[in-house]
A and B are shown apart, each in its own frame.
Chain A
Amino acid sequence: MEELIEKLKREVIEQLNLEDISPEDIEADSPLFGEGLGLDSIDALELIVLLEKNYGLKIEDPKDGKKIFHSIRTMAEYITEHKKA
Chain B
Amino acid sequence: MNQVISAYSGIKPGQAWVNGGIEYRDENFITFAEFIKPFFKRLNLGYPKFYKMDPLSKLGFIASELIFKHIDLDLYDKKRVGIVLANSSSSLDSDLVHQESINNRSHYFPSPSVFVYTLPNIMIGEICIRHQLKGENAFLISEKFESSLLFNFVNELFLNNRVDVCLTGWVDLLKEQFEALMMFVEPTGLAITEENSGMLLPFSEETMDDLYKKM
Contacts and interface: CB of A to CB of B under 8 A. Distances in A.
In the complex, are there CB atoms of A and B closer than 8 Å?
yes
Contacts, number: 27
Nearest to A19: B51
A18 interface: yes
Contacts of A49: 109-112
| Interface of B, helix, strand, loop or mixed by DSSP | helix
A17 B52 CA distance: 6
Interface residues of A, number: 13
A43 B110 CA distance: 14
A52 B113 CA distance: 15
Contacts of A16: 52, 113
Interface residues of B, number: 9
Nearest to B37: A19
A52 B51 CA distance: 23
B31 to A, nearest CB: 16
A19 B52 CA distance: 9
A42 interface: yes
Contacts of A19: 48, 51
The 8 A-B pairs with the shortest beta carbon distances in the complex, nearest first, are A19-B51, A45-B112, A53-B109, A17-B52, A42-B113, A17-B51, A42-B112, A46-B113
